[in-house]
């Protein structure tokens, strides 16, 4: 059987960097307690493994304020400036694994709001990355996700506006919302800060799914980017299966097929991908 593994399957650059940072800290800081501010990725297996190595997850700002010693790792989503201030006030050591692409948005928002622009973030207000970006503005921010919100957005004419985007936002939707806002009489500066990693993973998954008999998508059931990958693959290949680990793979589905494609969501560790790949490669 021929197995085609998507090159972009699994962790993107920023997530890999953040996860590697935690494991590196575990090795280096044997005498200090290590925390991550929020789960480092949305993958139960990884969080469980880190917990077994003594890494604790801090869920809230209040919990953070209770700490008086230890190392706190900031995940790839980034955090607001306010959180860095708390870390400093509490005398905690901060290891910053914010993805550089997110960090860049923080700098834009800090500078542009400081120069008097009103900031619009195109994204989901509940997403921690968006909340972090918002926390770098000197002035109140507008978060827009829907057509209705874009239509209803109102400011005085000629207001200086700077638009940025959540890194994982859909490009076509971003363009559409920006068009609506740009038609109004503002002085608009648009900075497309969407990261290409998601798009590349989706395009490659579709190309692989187009050419195989069966497609396997690996990822956490709660991962929205894996769900999206599954939808894309299923529309290209009817026999597409969504699994979390090798245990979920139904062997009967793979009997008598010639080619199998594999891809994985952004929070799927490489050892799970390899395990599935090796199993399919050597057992069929
Ligand atoms: Fe990943 Fe950073 Fe892009 S976390 S999706 S490489 S913005």
* Contact yes or no for 177/194 (Cβ under 8 A): no
Q: What is the CATH number of the domain that holds 171?
A: 3.40.1010.20
Task: Give Dmax (Cα) for the chain.
Answer: 66
Percent of residues, the chain, with pLDDT higher than 90: 86
What atom in ligand 1 is closest to the CA of residue 13? 6
* Contact yes or no for 273/45 (Cβ under 8 A): no
pLDDT at 143: 98
pLDDT digits 0-9 by tens, 230-266: 999 999 999 999 999 999 998 787 888 999 999 999 9
pLDDT at 267: 87
Task: Answer yes or no: do 90 and 175 share one domain.
Answer: no
Cβ neighbours of residue 276 under 8 Å, at least 6 residues apart?
216, 218, 243, 245, 246, 249, 262
For residue 1, report the distance from its CA to the centre of ligand 1, in Å: 33
DSSP reduced 3-state for 5: strand
First to last CA, the chain: 6
Domain containing residue 137: 101-194
- Residue 154 pLDDT exceeds 80: yes
Is any atom of ligand 1 closer than 6 Å to the C-beta of 97? Answer: no
Pick from 194, 217, 237: which residue ends a domain?
194
Nearest Cα residue to atom 2 of ligand 1: 14
Task: Answer yes or no: do 112 and 171 share one domain.
Answer: yes
Q: Give the range among 89-98, 121-130, 222-231, 267-276 with minimum mean pLDDT.
A: 222-231
For residue 2, report the distance from its CA to the centre of ligand 1, in Å: 31
pLDDT digits 0-9 by tens, 29-81: 989 999 999 999 888 888 999 999 999 999 999 999 999 999 999 999 999 99
Q: How confident is the model at residue 146 (pLDDT cuts 50, 70, 90)?
A: very high
Nearest Cα residue to atom 5 of ligand 1: 197
Pick from 99, 125, 149: which residue ends a domain?
99
pLDDT at 162: 98
In total, how many domains does the chain have?
3
pLDDT at 139: 95
Pick from 46, 80, 99: which residue ends a domain?
99
pLDDT at 251: 79
Is any atom of ligand 1 closer than 6 Å to the C-beta of 102? Answer: yes
């Amino acid at each position: 059987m021929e197995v085609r593994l998507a090159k972009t399957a699994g962790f993107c650059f920023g997530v890999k960097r953040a996860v590697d940072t935690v494991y590196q800290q575990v090795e280096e800081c044997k005498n200090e307690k290590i925390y991550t501010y929020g789960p480092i990725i949305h993958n139960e297996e990884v969080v469980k493994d880190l917990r077994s190595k003594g890494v604790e997850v801090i869920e809230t700002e209040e919990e953070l304020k209770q700490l008086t010693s230890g190392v706190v790792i900031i995940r790839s989503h980034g955090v607001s400036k306010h959180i860095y201030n708390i870390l400093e006030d509490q005398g905690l050591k901060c290891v910053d694994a914010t993805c550089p692409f997110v960090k860049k948005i923080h700098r834009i928002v800090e500078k542009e709001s400081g120069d008097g622009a009103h900031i619009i973030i195109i994204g989901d207000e509940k997403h921690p990355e968006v909340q972090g970006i918002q926390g770098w503005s000197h002035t109140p921010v507008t978060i827009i996700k829907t057509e209705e919100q874009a239509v209803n957005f109102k400011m005085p004419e000629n207001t200086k506006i700077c638009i940025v985007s959540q890194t994982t936002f859909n490009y076509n939707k971003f363009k559409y919302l920006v068009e609506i806002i740009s038609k109004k009489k503002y002085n608009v500066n648009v900075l497309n800060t969407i990261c290409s990693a998601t798009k590349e993973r989706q395009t490659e998954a579709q190309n692989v799914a187009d050419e195989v008999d069966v497609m396997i998508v690996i990822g956490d059931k709660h991962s929205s980017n894996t769900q999206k990958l599954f939808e894309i693959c299923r529309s290209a290949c009817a026999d597409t299966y969504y699994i979390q680990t090798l245990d979920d793979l139904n062997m009967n589905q793979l009997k008598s097929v010639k080619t199998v494609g594999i891809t994985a969501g952004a929070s799927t560790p490489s050892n799970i991908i390899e395990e599935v790949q090796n199993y399919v490669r050597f057992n069929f």
